[in-house]
Amino acid sequence: MEELECPLAFNELERKAWQFAVTAHGEQRRKYHQEPYVKHLERVAQTVMAYGGTTGMVMAALLHDVLEDTPVTQEELKAFLEETCQGSIVKPAEVLQMVLDLTDQFTKQQAPGYNRKRRKEMERQRTATTSGRAQTIKLADIIDNTRDIIAHDFSFARVYIPEIVGLLEVLKSAQPFTLYLLACYEVQKALFRLEEERNSLPPEETPALEG
């Protein structure tokens, strides 16, 4: 594993969450440019921090993919948080719940027999019931993923971006509203780029936008 440096802006608890995420994600890389996966987590956490997120929220942002994308179990994450947060004002149960809220529950493995469209709709309905803090982290995640996907994968963007348009409709508990506006701006900008690309193709090659 290459040497990674924890961002200086993180405090002691956030640095411990960062290190846990680095170890959990191991050699995982971002799909398009092969950067260490933790870089995505750092960007999400830094966005949460920039928009007034608490230490617990920053920790959850750094850990938001460990249950979904690594072998780490819920019990292992709970034990880490209880030990790490001991003696601090951060409540480990709240951080764990945010991570659970941010973990997809309707994957192919967990919801076999449902197609992607139905799984995403079930996920959207579940996300609507999650906490405002989790929804704030989700907005930061959407911003980073949208920028990445529209820059590197127009084919998948045709599927992903319309799904995110629907998801944004239920993230009304997120704070501050300026972060919600930024996420909407990034998604609308991506839709505009998709439309530009669609209009530049000959009629016989024009793909239909999903949704």
Q: Which residues are catalytic?
A: 68-69
Query: Which tokens go with 154?
Result: 């127009």
CA distance 198 to 166: 21
CA distance 144 to 61: 12
Fill in the amino acid letter for 203: P
Do 173 and 144 form a contact (C-beta atoms < 8 A)? no
Secondary structure, 3-state, 10-73: CCHHHHHHHHHHHHHHCCCECCCCCCECHHHHHHHHHHHHHCCCCHHHHHHHHHCCHHHHCCCC
CA distance 173 to 201: 39
